[in-house]
Amino acid sequence: MPMTVSGISIVLQGEGLLMTRLNIRRGLLAVLLVMALPACERQAASSVQGFLEYLSALETVSTAVTTATGYPADHVDVSGNQKHVYVSLIEPQLMNADDATLERTANAMVAAVEPMLRQRREFAAVQTIYIEIYHPSGLAKTPSRWHSRNVLEFRRGADQHFALQAP
């Protein structure tokens, strides 16, 4: 027999199920979660796929840099995010290079990176390319003594090309 107790609990006729408002809310929440779970799984799969595509795009940029500049692949590292791309070069021969040589090196790297940024949708929002040139400090022979000589910043202009920013 149906019965209401203080307006909080309801016994459903013939079911013998006692449900409180709290239990009803929990039940509705559980139903919503079960309904949303497949969408979350699709979104997670999409995020993983997007991440893998981004890694592939970074590898494409790295290959373009090594091909265009002639530096070995293990001397070039490319990383980034939605707004910035970082190209790191380890080159001991640039230890005593003047600013003009460093700028020529960086410009050659940016010239290799720029077409890749236009071709890949993953880089559509990139506004800055940072070229980081590493070399040994003084007579250091171990990588732990390496330091950054220069970080050159290139920003996307109104013409969509990247230009070196003054330090």
pLDDT digits (tens, 9 = 90+) for 49-80: 777 787 888 888 999 999 999 999 989 999 88
The sign of the torsion formed by the CA atoms of 63, 84, 110, 141 equals: negative
Distance of CA 149 to the CA centre of its chain: 25
> Which one, of 80, 83, 159, 160, lies nearest residue 125 by Cα?
83
Q: What's the alpha-carbon Rg for the chain, to the nearest Å?
A: 29
pLDDT digits (tens, 9 = 90+) for 75-116: 999 988 889 999 999 888 887 888 899 999 999 999 999 999
Q: State the pairing for strand pair 76-80/84-90.
A: antiparallel
The stretches of the chain forming alpha helices (DSSP H) are 21-69, 99-119
Query: Which stretch of 42-51, 73-82, 150-159 has the lowest confidence by average pLDDT?
Result: 42-51
Tell me how far apart the alpha carbons of residues 12 and 78 are, in angstroms, rounded to a whole number.
64
